[in-house]
Each structure stands twice: as C-alpha cells, then as structure tokens.
Amino acid sequence: MAKQNNLNQRWNTLQALVNQKKDALHGALGIQTFHIECSETVSWIREKTRLLQSTEELGSDLAGVMVLQRKLRGMENDLAAIQAKLDELQKEADQLAEEHPEEAEAIRQRFAQINECWRELKIILQERDAAMAEARELQQFLRDLDDFQSWLSKTQTAIASEDIPESLSEAEKLLNQHAAIKEEIDGYDQDYARMRDMGQRVTEGQTDAQYMFLRQRLQALDDGWEELHKMWENRQSLLSQSLNYQMFLRDARQADMLLNKQDNFLAKHEKPVNLEAAEEAIKRQENLLQTMDANDDKINAVINFGHRLCDENHYEADKIYKKCENLDERRKKNRQNADEQLAKLRDDLLLQGFLQESDEIGLWISEKMLIAQDETYDEARSIHSKWQKHQAFEAELQANKERLDKLNEHGHVLSSEKPEFAEQVEGRLGDLSAQWDQLDDRTQSKAKKLFEANRAALFTQGCDDLDNWINDLEVQITHEDHGKDLTTVNNLLKKQQMLETQVIVKKEQVNELEASVTGLQDEGDLDKVKKKKYDIEDRFHRLAEPLAQRKALLEANQKTQKFNRDIEDEKLWIQEKMPQATSLNHGNSLLAVQMLIKKNNSLKAEVDGHEPRISEVSERGTEMVEAGHPNSEDIDRQISELQDMWKRLLYAVDARKFRLADSQKAQQYYFDANEAEAWMSEQELYMMGDERGRDEPSAQTMLKKHEILENAVEDYADTINELSQEAKKLMDEAHPQSEQIAVRQSQIDKLYAGLKDLAEERRARLDETLKLYQLNREVDDLEQWIAEREVVAGSHELGQDYEHVTMLQDRFQEFARDTQSIGQERVATVNEIADQLIDAGHTDAAIIAEWKDGLNEAWADLLELIDTRTQMLAASYELHKFYYDAREILGRINEKQQAMSEELGKDANTVKNLQRKHSGFEHDILALGAQVQQLQDDASRLRSAYAGEKARDIQGKEAEVVNAWRNLQAMVDGRKVKLSDTADYYRFLNLVRDLILWMDDVTIQINTQERARDVSGVELLMNQHQNIKAEIDARDDSFTECFTLGKEMLSRSHYASREIREKLVGLGNRRGSMINDWEHRWEFLQLILEVYQFARDAHVAEAWLLSQEPYLRSDDYGDTLDEVELYIKKHEAFEKSFHAQEERFGALERLTTYELKEMRKRQEEEYRRMHPDADIPPAKESPPMKHRVIEDFLREEKEMEEKDRLRREMIEIEEARRRDFPQEKIQVEKTPSHEAREEKRESGGEPVVNGDEETPSGARTTPPKRGEGEAGLGEEVENEGPLGRKHEWETHDKKASNRSWHHVYVVQQGVNLAFYKDKKHKLQEIYFHGEEPVKLANAEVTIADDYTKKKHVFRLKLESGGEFLFQAKDDDEMNSWVEGLKTVAEGSEEGASAAARAATFPTESVTSPGKKEKKKGGFFTLRKK
C-alpha cells in the first residue's frame, strides 16, 4: 500500500514533470515560432522596402507616373496585410511575455526590431507617395499648361480681328459675339488662377534648369493672359466706339431732318402788313421756338454724345467733331435766324401798334376839332356857364393829352431804338402834333374869348376891393399915436408888422391887375379901365413911404423909451449909492472903522461892477444922438447928467476910502464877524420883503435892482473868504479863543448861504411877477384883435346865385386864412406861455388859467363863427353848384349816348379796332363818371342838409342824372361785353383753325413714315415717332387754352354757343383720331422692333449652334488617356459656354407681344365658343395720351346729350299721356335706357335726370347747371357762387391750422361741397389748396349770430367734427345758402341706406388718362454691357 502510494506519488510526480516538460516545450515552441514569424515578418518588410526603393525613377511623363502610382496602391494593400500580421504578433508577444517572463525582454526586443523595420517601411512609403503625388501634380500641371496656352493662342487669334462694322446692326452683332468671348474668358479665370498658384508652388525654391524653363513658361503665360485681356479690351473699345459711331450717325441723321424742317419754315418769312398779322406771325414764330426748344434737347444730346466720343479719343473723332460742329452751327444759325425774325416781328408789332394807336388818336382829334370849331356858344344864356362848359371840354382834352404824350414817348423810343422806322414814325408823330396843336390853338382861342367875356366883371370887383382896403390902411397910417411908453410902442410895432404882411399880399393882387387889363384890350371902355388901374397902383405905391416913415418913428420911439427907462434906472441906482459914498461917519471904534472900511470896499466893488452898465447906456444914447434922433438934445442932456452923477459917485467913493484908511486900525476878528453878520442880516431883511411891483415897468425895475443885489451878494463871497482866512490864521496861531472863533465863523458861513437862498427865492418871485404882467398884456391885445375879427365873421350875407356865392366864398376864405394863420400862432404863443407858468408852479396859476380859458373861449367863438360862416357859404355854394353841374352833366351824357356806335365787326381785325375805339370812348367818359359820382355825393350831402320841397328837387335832379349815367354805363358795358365776346369768338376760331392745320400736318407725318429694315432703322423711326409725340405734348398748352376759352364762353352763355360747342367737339374728336393714329403706329413699331430683335438674336444663336455642331457630332473620343483627358477639358469648356448661352436661348423661347396677343385672341375665341353667353373682360392696355380738359369736355357733352335725350323722352311720354289718356294711368313702354334709369331711381342709386320730376300738371322744371370736377360726377350743381370762408375746426378736438378768412368759389353738388379759388379753377377742376370736397350728410347749418366781426355769416358743422364759417354778400344770399344746405343735409339721411346698398356693388376700375405705362423692353432684347 505504501509502495503503491509511493508509486502513485512518483507517478504523479512523473506525470507532473512530464506535463511541466510538455509545457516547457510548448513554451519553447511558441517562443521559437514567434521568433521565426518575427524573422519572416522582418524579411517580408525588408522585401517591400527593397521593392519601394526600386521605384525611385518617377517617370518622364504622366503615364509613367500613373503606372507607378498604381503599383504603390498595390503595395499599400500588401502593407495592410503586414499591419494585420503585426497586430497578431503584438498580441502573441504580450501573451508570451506574460507566460515566460524570463523571455519577456528578448521578446520585446525582437518585436521592437520588427516595429523599427515597419516604421522605416511606412516612412519610405509615405515619401514615395508624396513624391509620386508631386510628380503626378507636376505632370498634370504641365499638360494643363499646354492646353491653356493652346486655348490662349486660339482666343488671341479670334480677338485679333480688325473688322470694322459698317452699320448699326453689324456693330451690335460683333459686339454680342465679342461679349460671348468675354464670357468664355471669364470661365477660364479659375483655371488660370489655379495654374498660376500651382506654378508658383512648383517652382518655388527650385534651381534646376527644367524648373527655370518652367518659370519662364509661367511668365509667358502671365504675359499672354494680360495681353489677352488687353486685346479684348482694345477690341471691346473698338467695337463700342463703332457702335457709338453708328448710333451717332443715326441720331445725326435725325437731327439733320429736324434742322431741315426748321430751315424750310424760316425760309417762308413774310413781313406783316397790320397789327393782327404781326400778332399771328409772332404766335407762329413762338410756336416754332417752342418746337426748337423741344428739339434742342435732342440735338444737344447728339452733340454732347459726339463731344463725349471725341473726348474719349474715338478713332473717327475728326468726322464726329466736324459733324457736331455742323449740327451746332446749323442749330445756332437757325436759332439766330428765328430770334432775329422774332425780333423783327416784335418790332413790326410795335410799329403796327404805334400806327394803329396813332390812327385812333388822329380820329379822336378830328372829332374833337369839330367840337372846338363849334361857335354856337354865343347863343348861351350866361357867359359864366359858357366858360364852365368850355373848362369841362379842356379837362377832357387834358385827360387825353396823356395818350398823345405816351404815344410821342413811344414813338421817340421806337425811333431811337429802331432807326429804320424813324422816318415813318416821325412823320406820323409830326402829323399828330400838328393836329393836336391846331386843336389846342382852337381850344385856347375859344377859351380866351370866353375868358375875356368874363374878365371885366372880375377886374371891377378886384379894383373895388383894393380901393376899400387902401382907404382903411390910409386911415390907420394917419393915426398920430406913436406910444407913450415902452409897452404901447411895442404893441404899435406888432400892428405895423401885420400891416406890412397885408401889403405884401395885396401887392400880388395889384400886379394881377396888369394881366387883367391886358386881357381887356378889346373892351370899349379900355381907357376907363386903365385909369382905374393906374389910380389904384398910384395909391398903393404912395402907401409905401408913409408905412416906412411910421415904422421908423415907432422904432425910434421904442429906442427912446427904452433909453429913458434905462437912464432913469441908473440915476436911481447912483442916487441910492451916493449917500453911502458921501457919508461922514468914520466910526468911533475899531470895530466901527473896520465895518465902514468894508462897506466902502463893498460899495467900491459894486460901483466898479456897475460901470459897464453905465458905459453901455451912455454909448447907446451917444449912438442915438449921432444917428440924428429927434430928441437928441434931451438925450445928450440926460447922458451929461448921468456922467456927472457917476463921476461924483466915483469921487465920493474914493474920498471916503482915503478918509477911512487914515482911521483904519487893527481890529479883532469879532468885529469883522459882527460887521459881516450885520450886513448879511440887512440884506436878508430886504430879501424877505413881499413887494412885487404895481405894473410891468415897476416889476422890471425891481428885478434889475434885485440883480444888482444878487451881484453884491456874489461879490461879498470874497469878504467871507477873507474873514475865513483871518479866522484860520488866528486858529493856526493857537489863539486862546480858537474854538469860539471857529463857532463864530461857522455861523457866518451859514448866514451867507441862507442869504443866497433868499436871493434866489426873491428873484423867482420877481420873475413870476414880470411874466404875469407880460402875459396880461398879450392876452389883452389878442382879445381886442379877436373882437375886431368877430364883427366880420358874424355877417349873414349868402349870395344870390352861383357866381355871387363864389365871390363871397373866395373873399371869406382869404379872411379865414389870414385870421387862422395869424390868430393861431398868437393864441398858441399865449397858451404856451401860460402853460409854462402853470407848470412851473406860478403863485398866480389860478389867475393865469382864468385868463387862458377866457382867451381860448374867445378864440373858439371866433373860429366857430368863421366855421359857421364858411359852412353857410359852402352850403349855398354846393346848392347852386349842384344845379349848375346837373345841367352840364346831363348835356354831356346825352352827347356821349348819341356818339356811341353799334357796329360789332366782321373779323378779328375790325373787332380789335372797335375795341380800341371803345377803350378810348371809356377813357373819355372816366372824367364824366367822376363828375357823376361827385354829383351823387353832393346830392347826398344836400339832402341831409335840406328838407321839404328843396330836398325833393335835389333828389329829382340827382335821379335824372344818375339814371342817364346808368343808361350810358349799361350801353358802354353791354357794348364792351359784346365786343369782348366777339373778340374771344374770333380768337377761338383762329386757335381751332391753327390746331386743325397742325393736326393735319402731324397726321400726314404719322402716316407717311418709311419702313425699316433692321433694328437700328426701327429705333430711328421710333425716335422720330417720339419726336412727333414731343411735338404733340408741346401743343397741349394750346389745346388747354382753346378748350378753356371755349368752355369759358359756353359758361357765360355766348351768343355763338352752338357753333363753339360744335367746334370743340370736332376739335376733340380730331385730336383723339390723331392720338389713335399715333398709338397704332407706335404699337406697330414696337412689334416690328421685337421682330427684328428676335431675328437678330436668333441669327446670333444660330451662328453659335452652327459653330458648335461639328464638335458635338464628332465620334473621336481619344485613343489614349491623354487624349481622353484633353477631350474632357474641351467638353468642360463647351459646357461653360453652353451655360452662358442658356439665357439667350431662354429669351428666344419666350413669346413676343404679337404672339401673346394672338394667343389671347385664340383663347378668347375658344372661350366664346365654349361659353357663348359669358362676358370676357378686355385686356389691359397702356393708357393713351389723353388730354384731361378735352376728355372731360367730351364726356360732359356725352352726358349732356344723354340727359337731354332722356328728358325729351320723358316729355314725349308725358305729352302722350295727357293727349291720349287724360283720365287713366297708362303703362308706357320704356326704352332699355329708360328702364335702367327707372330701376336706378327706384333703388335710390341715381337722382332724377337733370332734376326733371314728373309733376301732376306735367310741367318741366328748368334743368340746373352742369357740375364740374370730381365732386360733381354724375350730379347736378344745385348751388354755386363766391363766398368768404374761415376754417374753424378740423375734428371735434383739433382746431384748424389756418383760421384766416379766404375768398373761395363754393359749389354744392348733391351731398358734396367743393371749394375752388375762382370760377376759372372750377372749370379746370383745380380744388382750393388741393382740398377734397366735404360731405354734407348729417351736417348742421345755422346762422352764426354769435360771430360779430363780420355780417351775413353762417356756420356749417360736419358729421366728422369739421366746422366752417361762410360770409355771403347780403342776407338774401346767406338765407339761400342756409336753406339749400339744410335741405341737402336733412335729405341725405333718407338716402343713406340706398346709397349703402349701391356702394356694395363692385366698381369698374378706370385707368387715369393722365398717366401712361412705361413700355417694357422686348422679350428678345439683350442687355448691353
């Protein structure tokens, strides 16, 4: 058992060893197998490495490189197997290293060796791959470079063509082909950029000779590419210049045609023979200038285009420049000729106007010459009435003298500016001047005779007045009173000045007597007249010397009185000073002595200060003596007495000075101060006195005395200063009583200041007293003068007739002027003095105010008397003059009524002549109208001033004159209106005739244009056709003028309304026919243009297809790889070119306008065949060239005709009902239009036609006026007229921005209220400030009683919150508007539901005739680059 166990143990051990050995052998086997596999793998890798190393030769062409690349791709597959083997070895190595750690290092080293070989292989493979890729890329680049250079050479050869197009179509064709080449070049841009970048990468850093050669090829490629672009640009520039040149030639031919037309028109110039022909020629010339202005833009465009081509150095610059110069020269020459012809025509117009005006004035002068030669004035009842009538005739001549002066001025200006007309103009002016001078001489002769007949009475009356005045003046001169004192002398001098003023005025009247005597030489009692004149002149001249003597005596007496007053004053002054100078009191103390010395010094100062006054008075008296004064002895005696008294005073003053000097001693300050105080106290007592003087002389004397005292007070200031210096000296010496001295000096200074104040107060009181006495004197003199004037102003004589009252009025006016001119100045002077005294606070201000009020009352009474007298004379004058003027005016009105013609003229020329004559006639009666107006004003004033029979007589005379004048005005206005209507009618016919002739010419141009053969020809025809359109547009203003004139004449019910309406309708239809012809021709040209464009584009496309067809039909696809790749490149280039042509072929596939129309036509036919009862909406077409005014007029005429037709039908129905069935209600068969009308009426969608409702009696209401504008489409004008308007509110909470009053023309049409500036704007449908009509629905209309700034105002409040104020001319018009607007506003609510139902139906859109859609380009038109 033990052995068995041992055996078993050993067996187990052996078995374990065997297993262990087995495992070791397996492990060794695995390791060896790993090593063998590693060796085999290394051998495999090295074999692949050798194989890769054997491919170092890359090949010399692209095919060899591609073979090597295929080999490398096979090796890459083998390397994938090696990579898988390495992965297995990696796993096996990891497992063995884990199982056999002792061999792990060797295993890892072995595997690391394999990895190293593998990395080397991969590096070599990558290097070979990169080298092969570079080699392939290089070879590919070289082949692409060869292909690109080949294409480049071929394209350069195609561009290098030097063919020059000979026509516009050929130029467009070549330019399109050249554009296709550009598209091809642009397609090679990316290839060129790619090759250029590749070449730079390949040759960068290479120094081999082959790479240097490649670099040179690349440089040649760049140069060739740039040269290709330059060649294309040059060719493009050449072709563009060729195209521009052909376009320039086309436009130049068109410009030549326009200039040829202008030449033909200018060559037909004719000189006008009358004013109307000149106006017509100017109108035609202006139309030519308008056409030239329209053509100038086209010609300028051609010239500018040519200059631009020359500036761009066009190869045909010389020819283009010459052509441009030729066009410009012809254009300027035509413009110059046209301007010269227009200037000549305007000169002719001025000449013809001058000649016609001169003829009219000559005829007027002839008519007035007949009146001036009328000698029937001898049969008149009164010389004065004859003279007044002739003065009216002279006033009429003077009123028309301005016409002759203006004509002379016009003629002289015309002669100076236009010497060629000088002879004709000067001759005509000479004739007119001679006729006018003859008329003027005849008028003056007649006036002279009448004046001489009236002059004698005036002369006698003037002589009597002067004689009476001289008598009064002689009485005043002989008055011996020369004044007793200075005051009375001054008053007499003032009266003397007034007399001299009157003498100057009367001297002029005396001089006028000489002229009156000269005019009375034909009188029988000429000697008596001259003697009376000489007597008056002699008496008047003898007055001069007495007046001068009296003036000299008064002046001498004034000097004497003044001298006497002054010398008496001086004597009194000397007498006052003499006692002081001769006093024997020398004082008994030092203080008294000093006081006396100071008084004597003061006296001396006063005497020295008064010496100039004494000298002045003495010198004045000596001058009077030397001048031979009558009282010279008395004056000389008084001067001697004054000099003796003055000498005695001087001697006395000097003697006292010496006597006091002997006794003068030093005295203390207190004595000096007491003396000063005593003196000032003495003067103060005098200054405080209340004496004012009894009269003016005493007041003047007291004032002079006070002036002397004031001078003494002022002079005493030196004494006060000396006293102050003495006090200061004592205080400086430190006197023991310095403080008392200072206090004393201060008292003296205050006392002196108070003395000066008192002196000023006393002087003021004396001045007031003197001014009061002077004022009193002036007031007394003026009141006396006023009393004298009141006697004359209170006369009650008013005159017996017109001449007598005229004489009284003239004499009293002269009296009033003298009184007011003299009295106003004197009263104003006195009032001014009184006001100054009162304002200055005069103590007697109450007395002064009383004097002033009394004087003003007296002056006011005098003025009131003068005014009353003036009014009474004026009233009497107005009454007598009123009756006289009424008789004269009635006579002249009857003359004018008989002189008015009733001829209307047979053509425009005669109508204009009659209008000018009528204008002259109106100018003649302007003065008569002013006289009538003045007569009415006079009558109105007289009626308010008179009552009873006199007032009724005045009113009857006024009514007679006013009725006659109104009849004359009515006749004048009626004739003026008739002449204006006739002139407008002939002007309208001329406009219609001109427009019809022009439309005939335009229609011929439209229908006789040549046929085109290519695109450029069609474009030329289209440009010509557009020129016709421009000419048509240029004539729109003429059509507007014609239709506006026609409609205006129709609106005022012209007597030829039927002919005017027919002319307007025919003219509008004729224009519509012309526009249709133009549009049909334009559509035809557009279709032809599309056809030719399609043919041109199709030809280009076909040429391209033919050029590409050989390539597409080729069966050669290449025998080698290089050829195949070359064909691929060519095919790619073909595809690029094909894509570039797709847009062109797509355009060819689109349908033309003609094809679209045909297709639509077939569709409509098919639709009608399938739906025979359906309506096909018309195709939208471009709106024609409508004229708004013409179309609106034609539309209105059609509407009017339709309304008239319906009204006639209704009248016929009503008449048939009344005639056949008077008692029964019949059912009338209605026409389709009438049934439709009835249906609309029943539905509330349309009002009754023209407002003609059936009434029980069958009466027909008068149709209202037709409305104008958008606001009244389909509605009648219920009310219209001018009103004042103010916009208050825009909405309920927003006020209007402009709340000013404006005058507007208001039109109420149904529920619409439209505003226009005036009736003319209403006809032209131009709203006021562009405002839309307002709706009257639910509006509120009331009279604006709360608005008080204006009268006749009513208010309109709209439903939207807007509010307006309107002002009518009177209450009737206001009530009419208020009732009409209320009716519409209240009735609009009833029709609101029906209107709402009518508004739900669709409306047909209407294209505005004023707009025109832009014509789109053809489907086959290529864009030009």
Which of 175-179, 545-549, 1074-1078, 1413-1417 is predicted most confidently?
1074-1078
Sorting pLDDT into bands at 50, 70 and 90, what band is 1366?
Answer: very high
pLDDT of residue 1404 exceeding 60:
no
For 1247, the token pair is 């009002």
**Phi, psi (deg, nearest 5) at residue 1056:** -110, 35
Q: Are 118 and 45 in contact (CB under 8 A)?
A: yes
Quick one: pLDDT at residue 385? 65
Whether the pLDDT of residue 1416 is over 70: the answer is: no
**Contacts of range 622-625, beta carbons closer than 8 Å, 24 or more positions apart:** 624/559, 624/560, 624/563
Residue 1388: pLDDT band by 50, 70, 90 thresholds? Answer: low
Q: Could you give the CA distance from residue 665 to residue 589 in angstroms, rounded to a whole number?
A: 9
Mean pLDDT, the chain, integer: 76
CB of 1354 within 8 A of CB of 1343?
yes
- Report how far apart, in Å, the C-alpha atoms of 1080 and of each of 319, 803, 1028, 1235 are: 38, 87, 14, 38
Amino acid symbol at 576 = E
pLDDT band, residue 1224 (cuts 50/70/90): very low
Q: How far apart are CA 1237 and CA 1247, in angstroms?
A: 9
Cα–Cα distances (Å) from 1007 to 800, 1002, 1026, 1082, in that order, read 90, 9, 14, 11
pLDDT at residue 854 tops 90? no
Rounded to the nearest 10 degrees, how much is the dihedral formed by the CA atoms of 1264, 1269, 1275, 1276?
-10
Which residues contact residue 1297 at a Cβ distance below 8 angstroms, ignoring those fewer than 6 apart? 1290
Round to whole Å and give the CA distance between 380 and 373.
Answer: 16
Model pLDDT, residue 775: 76
Contact between 643 and 622 under an 8 Å Cβ cutoff? The reply is no
Buried b (16+ CB within 10 A) or exposed e, 961-999: bbebbeebbeebeebeebbebbbbbbbbbbbbebbeebb
459 close to 517: Cβ distance less than 8 angstroms? yes
pLDDT at 1284: 92
pLDDT at 458 over 60: no
Mean pLDDT on 157-171: 80
Q: Is the pLDDT of residue 1400 over 50?
A: no
pLDDT at 455 (0 to 100): 60
Q: Average pLDDT of 967-989?
A: 84
Going by DSSP bridges, is the β-strand pair 1301-1309/1334-1335 parallel, antiparallel, or unpaired? unpaired
| Residue of 427, 364, 420 lying closest to 396 (CA atoms) | 364
pLDDT bucket at 588, cuts 50 / 70 / 90: low
Percentage of residues of the chain with pLDDT beyond 90: 1
Q: What is the mean pLDDT of residues 176-203?
A: 81
Q: How confident is the model at residue 1365 (pLDDT cuts 50, 70, 90)?
A: very high
**Token duo for residue 7:** 């055996």
CA distance 1058 to 1050: 9
d(CA 1253, CA 1249): 8
State the pLDDT confidence band at 1283, using cuts at 50, 70 and 90.
very high
pLDDT above 60: residue 519: no
pTM, entire model: 0.39
Closest CA to 807 of 877, 732, 889: 877
132 contact partners, CB below 8 Å, separation of at least 6: 58, 65, 68, 69, 72
Q: Tell me if residue 1358 falls in helix, strand or coil.
A: coil
* Mean pLDDT to the nearest integer, 112-118: 81
Does the pLDDT value for residue 734 go beyond 50? yes
- Mean pLDDT to the nearest integer, 1329-1357: 87
For helices 1057-1113 and 1188-1220, the axis angle rounded to 10 degrees is: 120
Cα Rg for the chain, rounded, in angstroms? 65
- The arithmetic mean of pLDDT across residues 1126-1130, rounded, is 77
Query: What amino acid is encoded at 280 in this protein?
Result: E
- What band does 1368 get if pLDDT is binned at 50, 70 and 90? very high
Q: Which residues contact 726 (CB under 8 A, 6 or more apart)?
A: 669, 672
Q: Which residues contact 1397 (CB under 8 A, 6 or more apart)?
A: 1243, 1244, 1245
For residue 1189, CA distances in Å to 197, 473, 1306, 1326, 1412 come to 72, 86, 21, 11, 16
pLDDT of residue 1367 exceeding 90 = yes
pLDDT-derived band of residue 1262, with 50, 70 and 90 as boundaries? very low
Distances (CA, A) of 1060 to 242, 989, 1066, 1192: 57, 8, 10, 16
Percent of the chain scoring above 70 in pLDDT: 81
Q: What is the pLDDT of residue 75?
A: 65
Given the DSSP bridges, would you call strands 1334-1335 and 1353-1357 parallel, antiparallel or unpaired? Answer: unpaired
Nearest to 566 by CA among 606, 603, 612, 602: 612
- With b for 16 or more beta-carbon neighbours within 10 A and e for fewer, the 637-654 pattern comes to ebbeebeebbeebbebbe
- Which tokens belong to 440? 């003027």
Does 850 have pLDDT greater than 50? yes
Residue 1343: φ, ψ to 5° = -80, 130
Residue 1233 is predicted with a pLDDT of 43
- Reported as a single tens digit per residue, the pLDDT across 892-921 is 888 888 877 777 777 777 877 777 778 877
How many C-beta neighbours within 10 Å does residue 958 have? 20
Q: What angle do CA 188, 1125, 206 make, to 5 degrees?
A: 70
Distance of CA 1275 to the CA centre of its chain: 39
From the list 708, 695, 701, the residue with the least C-alpha distance to 565 is: 701
Residue matched to tokens 């495999």: 44
Structure tokens at 1065: 């309708």
The whole-angstrom separation of Cα 1163 and Cα 1171 is 12
Q: Are 1331 and 1323 in contact (CB under 8 A)?
A: no
Assign residue 735 a region (left: φ > 0; alpha: ψ between -120 and 50; beta: otherwise): beta
Query: What's the CA gap between 1273 and 1247, in Å, rounded?
Result: 12
Closest alpha carbon to 782 in 814, 818, 815, 828: 828
Please identify which residue in the block is written with the tokens 């009659």: 914
For Cα atoms 1158, 1164, 1169, give the angle at the middle one, nearest 5 degrees: 130
Q: Which one-letter amino acid corresponds to residue 673?
A: A
Residue whose pair of structure tokens reads 């006698």 in the numeric block:
460
With the C-alpha atoms ordered 1265, 1268, 1274, 1276, is the resulting torsion angle positive or negative?
Answer: negative
The whole-number average pLDDT for the span 775-802 is 79
Which carries the bigger pLDDT value, residue 764 or residue 523?
Answer: 764
Amino acid symbol at 1402: P
The answer to whether 1183 touches 1411, Cβ cutoff 8 Å, is yes
**pLDDT value at residue 1402:** 37
**Confidence at 839, pLDDT banded by 50, 70, 90:** confident
Dihedral angle sign, alpha carbons of residues 376, 382, 383, 389: negative
Rounded average pLDDT over 1383-1403: 51
Model confidence at 1353, in pLDDT bands (50, 70, 90)? Answer: very high
First to last CA, the chain: 121
Rounded Cα gap, residues 221 and 145, in angstroms: 8
Q: Would you call 1292 helix, strand, or coil by DSSP? A: coil
1371 CB-near residues (< 8 Å, 6+ apart): 1352
Mean local confidence (pLDDT), 689-695: 68
Helices (H) and strands (E) in the chain, counts: 32, 8
Q: Are 411 and 426 in contact (CB under 8 A)?
A: yes
- Higher pLDDT pick, 1375 / 660: 1375
Q: Could you give the CA distance from residue 1040 to residue 1049 in angstroms, rounded to a whole number?
A: 14
Residue 1004 has pLDDT above 80, yes or no: yes
Whole-angstrom Cα distance, residue 908 to residue 987?
7
Mean pLDDT, rounded, for 289-307: 85
Tell me the average pLDDT across 300-322. 86
**Greater pLDDT, 55 or 843:** 843
Mean pLDDT of 1284-1292: 86
